[in-house]
């Protein structure tokens, strides 16, 4: 019974369904926000979906500011700029609107605007989160427009330290948004590449959470159903961006993955994070590249578990059948099979490969991998992902 000890956390209120973006003013009132800073990314800021959302605020006579200086992999300079805008505009909360990058940065702006210590002092290490002034953290309303990261129901944000070229996970319980509006209509304009990349991110979250060691049967159940939703709906959403049912199921799967990975992540993310930090690749698509290589590496520890998952998912052949299903999905969606297919003109010398392996071992996700990830093992996985040898 000593192993049946754990700590379980579950997300905030989620207003889920098509058309619910119209409830944004009410959500702000619920969160106690009167003067929000609307945080999004530069590409999204130019699209009609942002204009129509800001019109909802205008019609409700809610004063707001807009910040969109957000890189695909947000860096410390983006956060500093956002905090400056937040303070100058005397904002009292954040609307984090967009994909994982905008959601993470919006949450971190709300967090950091009231702090005096550097953001790196709040990395997800031990009890570092207790260093923060909790009373100074502004409330957040999160509005995802992609279906992948699930950051809208998470208590952390990912930020790249430009000096060290490493991705850091910043954690605090109050980074969890006060309320989420999950409206699948907002995702219908996503291009296929983003639909596929974010979908592979959701699948990676569910798969790694399910495989992570530890006792969390509720997370296991959520992850398992999340995998089913992705496998059945991602091809549909990629083929027809207007398929609102597929979009809704993918949005649910994204939130489920982020809820489940409180149990842990693993080497897919451990390897993906340094690649994203060094080569600025799309995080979800990078996860998709590493997925089968890590799954094969973890086989000794997860074969029985994956066999159970395959049975639930209607996949014949146990572990091998599940692996074939993942490879088939990647091929169907044109997910790059190897790193050179993802990073054109990839030139990775021995020194860089060693560095990436060291960064992977040091990544916070590594602790959740079911097989111990040593530097040698990380480098071997990297070599296989370059060669395309599963």
pLDDT digits (tens, 9 = 90+) for 268-281: 999 999 999 999 99
pLDDT in tens, 309-333: 999 999 999 999 999 999 999 999 9
3-state helix/strand/coil string of the chain: CCCCCCCCCCCCEEEECCCHHHHHHHHHHHHCCCCEEEECCHHHHCCHHHHHHHHHHHHCCCCCEEECCCCCCCEHHHHHHHHHHHHHCCCCEEEEEECHHHHHHHHHHHHHCCCCCCHHHHECCCCHHHHCCHHHCCCEEEEECCCCCCHHHCCEEEEEECCCCEEEEEECHHHCCCEEEECHHHHCCCCHHHHHHHHHHHHHHHHHHHHCCCCCHHHHHHHHHHHHHHHHHHHHHHHCCCCHHHHHHHHHHHHHHHHHCCCCCCHHHHHHHHHHHHHCCCHHHHHHHHHHHHHHHCHHHHHHHHHHHHHHHCCCCHHHHHHHHHHHHHHHHCCCCCHHHHCCCCCCCHHHHHHHHHHHHHCHHHHHCCCCCCHHHHHHHHHHHHHCCC
pLDDT of residue 1: 44
- Domains in the chain (CATH in brackets) are 13-187 (3.40.50.1970), 192-387 (1.20.1090.10)
What pLDDT shows up at residue 10? 83
pLDDT for the residue 66: 98
CB contact set of 94 (below 8 Å; sequence gap of 6+): 33, 36, 37, 38, 39, 86, 106, 107, 109, 110, 138, 139, 140, 141
218-269: pLDDT as tens digits: 999 999 999 999 999 999 999 999 999 999 999 999 999 999 999 999 999 9
pLDDT single digits (tens) 35-73: 999 999 999 999 999 999 999 999 999 999 999 999 988
**What burial letters (b/e) apply to 62-97, b meaning 16+ CB within 10 Å?**
bebebbbbbeebbbbebbeebbebbeebebbbbbbb
Using the structure block, give the residue that is written with the tokens 């605007």: 113
Q: What is the pTM of this model?
A: 0.93
- Provide the percentage of residues in the chain whose pLDDT is more than 90: 93
Mean pLDDT confidence for 109-129? 96
Task: Return the pLDDT at 4.
Answer: 76
């Amino acid at each position: 019974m000593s192993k049946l000890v754990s700590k379980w956390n579950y997300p905030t209120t989620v207003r889920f369904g098509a058309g619910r973006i119209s409830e944004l003013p009410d959500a702000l009132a619920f969160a106690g926000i009167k003067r929000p800073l609307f945080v999004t990314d530069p590409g999204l800021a130019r699209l009609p979906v942002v204009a129509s959302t800001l019109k909802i605020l205008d019609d409700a006579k809610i004063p707001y500011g807009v910040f969109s200086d957000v890189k695909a992999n947000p860096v410390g300079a983006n956060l500093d700029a956002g905090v400056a805008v937040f303070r100058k505009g005397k904002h009292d909360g954040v609307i984090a609107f967009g994909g994982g990058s905008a959601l993470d940065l919006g949450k971190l702006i709300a967090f950091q605007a009231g702090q005096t210590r550097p953001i790196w002092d709040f990395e997800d290490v031990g009890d570092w989160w207790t260093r923060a002034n909790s009373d100074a953290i502004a409330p957040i309303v999160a509005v995802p427009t992609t279906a992948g990261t699930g950051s809208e129901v998470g208590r952390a944000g990912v930020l790249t330290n430009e000096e060290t070229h490493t991705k850091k996970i910043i954690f605090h319980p109050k980074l969890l948004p006060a309320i989420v509006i999950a409206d699948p209509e907002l995702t219908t304009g996503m291009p296929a590449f983003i639909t596929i990349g974010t979908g592979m991110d959701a699948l990676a979250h569910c798969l790694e959470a399910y495989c992570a060691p530890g006792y969390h049967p509720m997370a296991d159940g959520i992850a398992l159903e999340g995998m089913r939703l992705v496998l059945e709906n991602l091809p549909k959403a990629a083929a027809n961006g207007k398929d609102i049912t597929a979009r809704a199921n993918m949005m649910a799967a994204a939130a489920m993955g982020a809820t489940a990975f409180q149990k842990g992540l693993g080497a897919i993310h451990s390897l993906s994070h340094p690649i994203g930090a060094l080569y600025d690749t799309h995080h979800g698509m990078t996860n998709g590249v590493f997925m089968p290589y890590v799954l094969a590496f973890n086989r000794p520890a997860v074969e029985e578990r994956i066999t159970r998952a395959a049975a639930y998912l209607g996949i014949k052949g146990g572990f091998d059948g599940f692996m074939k299903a993942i490879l088939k999905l990647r091929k169907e969606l044109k997910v790059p099979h190897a790193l050179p297919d993802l990073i054109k003109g990839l030139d990775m010398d021995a020194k860089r490969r060693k560095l990436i392996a060291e960064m992977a071992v040091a990544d916070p996700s590594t602790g959740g991998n079911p097989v111990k990830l040593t530097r040698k093992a990380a480098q071997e996985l990297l070599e296989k992902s370059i060669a395309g040898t599963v």
